[in-house]
Amino acid sequence: MSQPKILVARAVFPEIIDRLSQHFDVESNQADASWSKADLIEHLKGKHGAFTTGGDRIDAEVLAACPDLKICANMAVGYNNFDIDAMTAAGVLATNAPDVLTETTADFGFALIMATARRLTESEHYLRAGQWTKWSFDMFAGSDIHGSTLGILGMGRIGQGIAKRGAHGFGMKVIYHNRSRLDAALEAECKARYVSKEELLKTADHVVLVLPYSAASHHTIGAAELAQMKPTATLVNIARGGIVDDAALAKALKNKVIAAAGLDVFEGEPKVHPDLLQVPNVVLTPHIASSTIPTRLAMAALAADNLIAFFAGKPPLTPLNAAVLARQ
């Protein structure tokens, strides 16, 4: 019996390719070529499974062109690249890679909070440009982290990790808003208090976005929300591009509506809104919140585990539309 055919759509660790090759007929994009949708369809035709990343869009058009496809395993916790409804209708299982990146991403989120509040990249650019000629009392004076109020929008595992770092490590007062309130034990563990979105925006010194992207969360932060924040406040987005209206944010930063922002994700990434590149009071990183070797390897291994389990007739570890399994 021939092995199932799978596509690995982006370059991944060679040891992951080697492991997959023990179970499948593998086509891999180890050259990491940037494929258009037409390219992706061409490579997916005849494949039974796909190992994808957050940039590989699987929608109704792709599914219609690739009727042999049975599963797409995302090497990411986010899955807004998947049209889950279309995949479910087509009988294609979707999986993601949660949990393994929680602590690493929370580390990075807190690093971005600190870099933004303390104006690290802005001051480094100043130094590198040879502009530092003397000390002054207000040189790149930022805002304190310790003892300040941390507001978290989206209190899943990563949000909880950031809350614990802030409350326990820096003595921050933590407030949060979520679709559903945490139970009392978790709130106590995080030292976090549930508030409305409006109260969070008006009260927090540092606002962090860790909510999943959906049509409902599109532009959760726009001009109106930025106007509710303190002029001394900072905003950090490690969630997904599109949750923030990047054009409105650039304008708010230019006009000092808020003090600064830190962004690891962007609308239409890898493109970045050009106005964000023109304002100094923003820290910009290229979607690297989970980027440590151990974590990225764990993410890739989980995606591989899902593919291997599925084709072995075993339950995948992290299905997103498990109803598909009942129909197969």
Indicate the pLDDT class of residue 78, thresholds 50, 70 and 90: confident
Indicate the pLDDT class of residue 1, thresholds 50, 70 and 90: low
Asked if pLDDT for residue 328 goes beyond 80, the answer is: no
Asked if pLDDT for residue 257 goes beyond 90, the answer is: yes
How high does pLDDT run on average in the chain?
A: 96
Indicate whether this model's pTM tops 0.85: yes
- Enumerate the H helices of the chain as residue ranges: 14-21, 37-44, 60-65, 84-89, 102-117, 120-128, 157-164, 170, 184-190, 197-203, 223-228, 246-254, 293-311, 323-326
The DSSP code for 95 is: E
Distances (CA, A) of 293 to 106, 192, 306, 326: 16, 31, 20, 36
CA distance 146 to 151: 14
Q: Write down the pLDDT at residue 279.
A: 97
Q: Write down the pLDDT at residue 32.
A: 95
CA distance 244 to 203: 19
Segment holding 72, helix H or strand E? strand 71-74
Q: Over the stretch 308-325, which tens digit does the pLDDT of each residue have?
A: 999 999 999 999 999 999
Could you tell me the strand order of the sheet in which 5-8 lies? 25-28, 5-8, 49-52, 71-74, 93-95
Indicate the pLDDT class of residue 54, thresholds 50, 70 and 90: confident
**CATH ID of 5-100+293-326, from 3.50.30.10, 3.40.50.720, 3.30.479.30, 3.40.50.300:** 3.40.50.720
Asked if pLDDT for residue 39 goes beyond 90, the answer is: yes
Would you say 276 and 246 are in contact if contact means Cβ atoms under 8 Å apart?
yes
Whether 5-100+293-326 and 102-284 share one fold: the answer is yes
Asked if pLDDT for residue 238 goes beyond 90, the answer is: yes
Asked if pLDDT for residue 30 goes beyond 80, the answer is: yes
Q: Find the catalytic residue in 61, 103, 199, 269.
A: 269
Share of the chain above pLDDT 90, in %: 95
Partner residues linked to 8 by β-bridges: 28, 51
Indicate the pLDDT class of residue 326, thresholds 50, 70 and 90: confident
Q: Find the catalytic residue in 48, 119, 273, 287.
A: 287
- Angle, CA of 78, 27 and 100, to the nearest 5°: 30
Distances (CA, A) of 107 to 22, 41, 111, 122, 215: 35, 37, 6, 21, 28
CA distance 280 to 261: 10
CA distance 260 to 226: 11
Asked if pLDDT for residue 204 goes beyond 80, the answer is: yes
SS3 26: strand
Q: Find the catalytic residue in 240, 267, 273, 296.
A: 240
Spans of all domains in the chain: 5-100+293-326, 102-284
Note if 287 is an active site residue: yes
Note if 269 is an active site residue: yes
The DSSP code for 21 is: H
Q: Which two tokens stand for residue 112?
A: 């971005």
Q: Over the stretch 273-295, which tens digit does the pLDDT of each residue have?
A: 999 999 999 999 999 999 999 99
Q: Which two tokens stand for residue 299?
A: 């993410």
CA distance 126 to 43: 46
**CATH ID of 102-284, from 3.90.650.10, 3.40.50.10800, 2.30.31.70, 3.40.50.720:** 3.40.50.720
Q: Write down the pLDDT at residue 323.
A: 92
Note if 19 is an active site residue: no
Nearest to 149 by CA among 230, 223, 210: 230
